[in-house]
């Protein structure tokens, strides 16, 4: 085992007054906790927010929303989105 494991084992034996089997369990648990925390620290470094030094260019590529071609009774155009060809669902042409 490594030096830290030996220190944990000796602390469990001397300070906590545990027997040999319990001290080994304690040292193994402490070692697993250290390994898990080291992995979490690595993940935290990988997932840090990246600071941009250059502002990226943004190109607007979304298509313009098509509106319904129908005219309402008050002579205003319908403001709904054209989902059925050139008309909205309310004004679609039904055969």
Asked whether residue 1 carries a pLDDT value surpassing 70, the answer given is: no
* Residue spans per domain, the chain: 3-46, 64-95
Q: Are 91 and 70 in contact (CB under 8 A)?
A: yes
- What H or E segment, with its residue span, contains residue 34? helix 20-46
How do residues 6-43 score in pLDDT, each as one tens digit? Answer: 888 888 888 888 888 999 999 999 999 999 999 999 99
Q: Kindly calculate the radius of gyration of the chain based on its CA atoms and give it in whole angstroms.
A: 34
How do residues 70-91 score in pLDDT, each as one tens digit? Answer: 999 999 999 898 888 888 988 8
pTM over 0.75: no
Give 52-75 as a DSSP string: PSSPPP----PPPPPBP--B-TTS
CB atoms within 10 A of CB 12: 21
* Phi (first) and psi of residue 81, to 5 degrees: -75, 140
Name the band, by pLDDT with cuts 50, 70 and 90, for residue 62. low
């Amino acid at each position: 085992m490594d030096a830290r494991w030996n220190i944990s084992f000796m602390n469990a034996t001397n300070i906590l007054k545990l027997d040999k089997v319990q001290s080994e369990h304690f040292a193994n648990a402490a070692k697993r906790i250290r390994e898990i925390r080291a992995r979490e620290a690595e993940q935290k470094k990988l997932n840090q927010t990246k600071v941009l030094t250059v502002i990226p260019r943004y190109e607007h590529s979304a298509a313009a929303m098509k509106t319904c071609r129908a005219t309402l009774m008050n002579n205003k155009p319908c403001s709904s989105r054209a989902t059925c060809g050139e008309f909205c669902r309310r004004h679609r042409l039904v055969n």
